[in-house]
């Protein structure tokens, strides 16, 4: 490998230059091995945030991060593979009903998921509220479960894109999280290394999302769709609304319960709509455009697959889920229609109740969170229950309520119908 100087590469990007393929390969390989120091990579991350990268640079950065570790291969499976990635939101439990639903139609779903940090929940935290369920399984176990059940949701192994793991934690403490080239390469290096043949991206837009405005969300989605397709992964994206929480629950065990309601043919309309839309798109990319996914939710096939998937990882799908020791009901302060239920405010409140973590090493309370008794646009009467807070530590209630003091508003007229799917970016 050609030798470069980290300082010269930082200066080149600082001066709005373009880094060559060889320079990017050298930078990532040497950062992963420790030759390039954290402070040097911090300076590079800031230069990328301020000056951007072109499509070729982002593609090279993603490829270098993939090469830093192993790449999984599912070519031995009889079924095609499809995956979904969400950029994260509040009440976003879609992966739970989605993976078994898609697997019903003979498409294998290798869903490598993460844990929550801050106000956004983590899929693994939700599933770990199920007694006995294991997030960490070997690559061999994952492959065997995909062959037998057709769906697996688990933690990514340490061998997958280790450069991303180093860079991810660095971005968090250097104010460079928002850099689109770094977000896109982080997400897509893991998804491409994961080995899926097709991928649907759920890019959230709004107060409770990573991307607050649609222009930035669209830019990120397009970059990721291009990266996937350039790498041979059929990739498309949906831009979805996240100003209001998804569903009526926020918090780990609460969201599992709601996901099971969806799998039983019920559940909130917005959760069902997004689950069906994402499943249909995953199946379209996998070559099964005519699958009747709504029917598989209604007739129990998706529930059967869910039980198989949970049991395969040691979980008891029929076990009683954890319940918080304390609850507190908040009532409506006015009569009228709910015109605002701010996702960020309610996400922070749920985190303050113990459902999330401030640092990666923090524990979560599985029973903590919020249950909404009304959604955006519903008419409420002053004094009726609006939401219930759950926690094991009642001293958290006041702190949580302070988070959404300005996050709930009432009006005489109902707001226009909420549009969940804002835009689609297709691979064709």
pLDDT score of 38:
95
Three-state DSSP at 199 gives strand
Task: Looking at the structure, give the CATH architecture of the domain made up of residues 82-158+165-318.
Answer: 3-Layer(aba) Sandwich (3.40)
Which CATH number describes the domain made up of 6-52? 1.20.970.10
Q: Which of 312, 307, 380 is nearest to 340 (CA)?
A: 380
C-beta neighbour count of 14 within 10 angstroms: 15
Which residue among the candidates 190, 204, 284, 352 is catalytic per the annotation? 190
pLDDT score of 289:
94
Which residue among the candidates 126, 165, 166, 171 is catalytic per the annotation? 171
Q: How far is CA 398 from CA 137, 372, 391, 405, in A?
A: 39, 17, 12, 10
Residues 6+ positions from 19 with CB-CB distance below 8 Å: 9, 12, 13, 27, 53, 57, 60
Which residue among the candidates 85, 126, 191, 284 is catalytic per the annotation? 85
Stretches where the chain sits below pLDDT 50 are: none
Is residue 171 annotated as part of the catalytic site, yes or no?
yes
What is the token pair recorded at 30? 């040497």
| Contact status, residue 202 vs residue 176, Cβ threshold 8 Å | no
Q: From CA 350, how far away is CA 249, in angstroms rounded?
A: 10
Is residue 337 annotated as part of the catalytic site, yes or no?
no
Ranges of H-type helices in 34-78: 38-51, 55-67
Q: Give the residue carrying structure tokens 């303050």.
A: 352
Is residue 59 annotated as part of the catalytic site, yes or no?
no
**271 sits in which H/E element:** helix 269-285
Which residue among the candidates 60, 164, 226, 270 is catalytic per the annotation? 164
Q: Half-sphere exposure of 420 toward its Cβ, with a 13 Å CA cutoff?
A: 19
Q: Please provide the size of the chain in residues.
A: 428
Domain ranges of the chain: 6-52, 82-158+165-318, 326-411
Q: From CA 200, how far away is CA 99, in angstroms rounded?
A: 12
Is residue 190 annotated as part of the catalytic site, yes or no?
yes
DSSP 8-state code for residue 353: I
Three-state DSSP at 368 gives coil
| Contact status, residue 151 vs residue 111, Cβ threshold 8 Å | yes
Which residue among the candidates 185, 186, 259, 350 is catalytic per the annotation? 186
C-beta neighbour count of 8 within 10 angstroms: 9
Q: From CA 253, how far away is CA 355, in angstroms rounded?
A: 9
Q: Which of 293, 33, 256 is nearest to 126 (CA)?
A: 256
pLDDT score of 427:
64
CATH domain 326-411 topology: Aldehyde Oxidoreductase; domain 3 (3.90.1170)
pLDDT score of 357:
82
Three-state DSSP at 111 gives strand
Summarize pLDDT for 184-232 with one digit per residue, the tens: 999 999 999 999 999 999 999 999 998 999 999 999 999 999 999 999 9
């Amino acid at each position: 490998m050609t030798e470069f100087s980290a300082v010269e590469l930082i200066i080149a990007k600082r001066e709005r230059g373009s880094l060559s393929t060889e320079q990017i390969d050298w930078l990532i390989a040497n950062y992963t091995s420790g030759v390039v120091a954290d402070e040097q990579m911090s300076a590079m991350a800031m230069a990328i945030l301020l000056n951007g990268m072109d499509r070729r640079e982002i593609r090279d950065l993603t490829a270098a991060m993939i090469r830093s570790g192993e790449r999984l291969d599912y070519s031995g499976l009889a079924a095609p593979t499809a995956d979904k990635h969400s950029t994260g939101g509040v009440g976003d439990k879609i992966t739970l009903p989605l993976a078994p639903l898609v697997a019903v139609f003979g498409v294998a779903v290798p869903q490598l998921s993460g844990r929550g940090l801050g106000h956004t929940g983590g899929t693994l935290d939700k599933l770990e509220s199920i007694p006995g369920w294991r997030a960490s399984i070997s690559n061999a176990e994952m492959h065997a479960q995909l062959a037998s059940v057709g769906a697996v949701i688990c933690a990514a192994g340490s061998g997958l894109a280790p450069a991303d793991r180093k860079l991810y934690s660095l971005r968090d403490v250097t104010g460079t999280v928002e850099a689109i080239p770094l977000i896109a390469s982080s997400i897509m290096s893991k998804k491409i290394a994961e080995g899926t043949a097709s991928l649907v991206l759920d890019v959230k837009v709004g107060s409770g999302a990573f991307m607050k405005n649609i222009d930035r969300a669209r830019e990120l989605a397009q970059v990721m769709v291009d990266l996937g397709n350039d790498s041979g992964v059929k990739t498309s994206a949906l831009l979805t609304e996240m100003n209001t929480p998804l569903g009526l629950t926020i918090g780990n065990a609460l969201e599992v319960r709601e996901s099971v309601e969806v799998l039983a043919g019920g559940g909130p309309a917005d959760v069902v709509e997004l689950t069906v839309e994402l499943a249909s798109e995953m199946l379209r990319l996998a070559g099964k455009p005519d699958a009747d996914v709504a029917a598989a939710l209604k007739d129990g096939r998706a529930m059967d697959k869910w039980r198989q998937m949970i049991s395969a990882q040691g979980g008891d799908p029929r076990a009683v889920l954890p319940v918080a020791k304390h609850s507190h009901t908040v009532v409506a302060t006015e009569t009228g229609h709910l015109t605002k239920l701010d996702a960020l405010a309610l996400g922070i409140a749920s985190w303050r109740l113990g459902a999330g973590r401030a640092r990666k090493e923090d524990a979560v309370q599985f029973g903590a969170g919020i249950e909404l008794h009304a959604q955006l646009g519903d008419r409420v009467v002053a004094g009726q229950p609006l939401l219930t807070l759950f926690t094991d530590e009642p001293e958290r209630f006041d702190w949580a309520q302070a988070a959404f003091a300005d996050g709930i508003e009432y009006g005489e007229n109902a707001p226009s119908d909420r549009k969940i799917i804002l835009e689609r970016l297709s691979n064709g």
